[in-house]
């Protein structure tokens, strides 16, 4: 018994020493250390999903905030440390946003400071503000763990909403999608899982209590709660995954030509059209297949283009569709006098006697701020910002796309089961699938189309794919995903990957096609998140506030 107590004391002594070393950092050393902690936490997300890295980072941040709270100007100190942590977190997690500026580096490399400094620094302001506000309720007791989860969970909800939202790498997505622990997102959604994950990651920090307090029971309580949460979630998720996936008779052909973004518009996009025609001819398929192409599959779209009056790609493609339907991304234009409006659309064509006919249409509703959504509609000086974007983005940033109606369920009658369309950026938002109207319950699957060629070949495509798979788990709907130079795959309602696109022969140099023919999984029963939305998130926020009050000691 005595040996056990001595071992426990030595263990706590090591933690106390670490806490002291971290909390006492000051000045530039503290800033750099916080940035490194935030950068290290990126290992917690796709393609690594090393959740312990996120735990280490969050514990280190809380211990740094302990030191900041002891300073005379504690608000400023806490803000600075949380901001630095967020800067490292967003810089490493979103470095791929610099790749569009490298499509024409001779023109735009000088503006790399925007994605590499302005974007992570701006998003980190939300985290800095959250921790500074939480500092008003900070204490050396275990309550600070609940305060951290409460304020940071709220900050992540704000990040997913402010200026249109950019909920990339929410802490809740650290759990590998399709795994046991990811299944709990079907209960309360990704924001709820994010709040719970922040608590789990922060809980070990409470093992060190800087007050002169006897015993470790109170300090160990958050860690015990975290272990119990992980254990229960793993057991529940494993039981949920014990169910087999039912495959319907519907056949889907996922197809991406894999053209690099820098080559997409060469010679008017003739090579891209030729490659898709070749794939339609070469890839084995059957009558009744549903073919899916990615966002903006053809450089100039599949619909009439007022800027190219003699352009008619659909007529050319129709000859090779045979008796198969086609879902694809395409720019769409409408004219009102001299004014032309553009939409980023998903279109569905069905085979006809002479040419394919339009069976369903969806205009992207949630547009990318400063990319698709005109900058002038977001901030007063947006025109000036738009003027320094890469040329491939300037027209969209100044004129932009028009947002479509609210998210919807497309009902293409016999040719395909009803589905919810998501275009690229929209796959980050859980509420789109949950609120899709009309007849949300009629939807049998989700179709995600994207152009991940903008992301480069690093972490971006893997992270995007992982976050999209959470939409399937939240809703219980299978997902067909086609992404240019990204992950093209079929996912079931548990988020499990059933089939992934394979390279097709005949790729031009530097291209990377992805093609796979797969059955469509059956949808699962309606999930609690689909029924109750963010209810569990807000209940958990109230619970964290209550636990913080109960355990609070100055």
The residues that are catalytic are 295, 364, 424
Instruction: Provide the residue count of the chain.
Output: 554
* Euclidean distance between CA atoms 201 and 197, whole angstroms: 6
Residue written as token pair 């030191």: 67
Residues 6+ apart with CB under 8 A from 292: 252, 253, 254, 255, 326, 327, 328, 447, 449, 480, 482
Q: Can you say how many angstroms the Cα of residue 284 is from the centroid of all Cα atoms in its chain?
A: 33
DSSP 132-190: HHHGGG--SSTHHHHHHHHHHHHHHHHHTTGGG---TT-GGGGSPTTSTGGGGHHHHHH
Selection from 276, 272, 256 nearest residue 448 by Cα: 256
Residues 6+ apart with CB under 8 A from 397: 370, 371, 374, 375, 382, 385, 386, 389
As given in the structure block, the two tokens for residue 330 are: 């395409």
Strand boundaries in 337-412, DSSP class E? 339-350, 357-363
As given in the structure block, the two tokens for residue 148 are: 């951290």
Give the per-residue SS3 of 406-457.
CCECECCHHHCCCEEEEEHHHHHCHHHHHHCECCHHHCCEEEEEEEHHHHCC
DSSP bridge partners of 448 = 422, 481
As given in the structure block, the two tokens for residue 378 are: 């977001």
């Amino acid at each position: 018994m005595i040996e056990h107590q001595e071992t426990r004391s030595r263990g706590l002594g090591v933690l106390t020493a670490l806490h002291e070393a971290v909390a006492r950092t000051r000045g530039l050393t503290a800033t750099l250390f916080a940035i490194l902690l935030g950068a290290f936490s990126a290992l917690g997300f796709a393609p690594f999903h090393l959740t312990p890295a996120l735990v280490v980072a969050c514990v280190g941040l809380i211990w740094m905030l302990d030191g900041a709270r002891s300073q005379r100007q504690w608000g400023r100190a806490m803000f600075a440390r949380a901001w630095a942590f967020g800067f490292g977190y967003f810089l490493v997690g979103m470095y791929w946003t610099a790749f569009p500026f490298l499509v024409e580096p001779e023109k735009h490399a000088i503006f790399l400071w925007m994605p590499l400094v302005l974007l992570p620094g701006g998003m980190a302001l939300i985290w800095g503000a959250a921790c500074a506000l939480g500092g008003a309720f900070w204490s050396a007791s275990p309550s600070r763990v609940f305060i951290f989860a409460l304020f940071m969970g709220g900050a992540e909800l704000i990040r997913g909403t402010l200026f249109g939202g950019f909920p990339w790498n929410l802490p809740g997505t650290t759990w590998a999608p399709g795994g046991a622990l990811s299944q709990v997102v079907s209960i309360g959604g990704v924001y709820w899982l994010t709040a719970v994950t922040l608590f789990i990651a922060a809980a070990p920090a409470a093992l060190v209590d800087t007050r002169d307090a006897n015993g470790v029971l109170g300090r160990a309580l958050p860690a015990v709660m975290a272990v119990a949460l992980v254990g229960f979630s793993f057991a529940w998720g494993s039981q949920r995954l014990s169910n087999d996936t039912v495959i319907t008779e519907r056949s889907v052909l996922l197809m991406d030509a894999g053209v690099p973004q820098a080559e997409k518009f060469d010679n008017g996009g003739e090579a891209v059209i030729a490659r898709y025609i070749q794939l339609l001819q070469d890839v084995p398929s059957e009558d009744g297949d549903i073919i899916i192409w990615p966002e903006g599959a053809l450089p100039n779209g599949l619909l009439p283009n007022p800027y190219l009056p003699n352009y008619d790609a659909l007529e050319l493609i129709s000859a090779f569709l045979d008796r198969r339907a086609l879902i694809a991304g395409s720019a769409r234009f409408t004219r009102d006098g001299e004014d032309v409006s553009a939409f980023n659309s998903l279109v569905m064509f069905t085979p006809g006697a002479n040419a394919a006919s339009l069976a369903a249409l969806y205009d992207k509703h949630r547009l990318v701020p400063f990319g698709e959504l005109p900058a002038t509609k977001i901030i007063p000086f947006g025109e000036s910002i738009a003027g320094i974007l890469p040329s491939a983005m300037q027209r969209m940033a100044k004129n932009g796309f028009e947002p479509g109606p609210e998210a919807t369920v497309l009902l293409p009658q016999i040719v395909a089961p009803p589905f919810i369309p998501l275009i690229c950026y929209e796959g980050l938002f859980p509420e789109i699938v949950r609120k899709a109207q009309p007849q949300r319950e009629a939807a049998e699957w989700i179709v995600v189309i994207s152009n991940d060629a903008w992301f480069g070949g690093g972490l971006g495509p893997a992270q995007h794919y992982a976050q999209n798979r959470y939409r399937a788990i939240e809703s219980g709907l299978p997902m067909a995903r086609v992404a240019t130079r990204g992950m093209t795959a079929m996912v079931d309602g548990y988020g499990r990957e059933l089939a992934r696109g394979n390279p097709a022969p005949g790729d031009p140099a530097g291209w990377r096609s992805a093609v796979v023919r797969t059955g469509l999984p059956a949808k699962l029963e309606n999930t609690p998140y689909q029924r109750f939305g963010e209810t569990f998130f807000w209940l958990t926020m109230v619970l964290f506030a209550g636990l913080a009050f109960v355990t609070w000691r100055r």
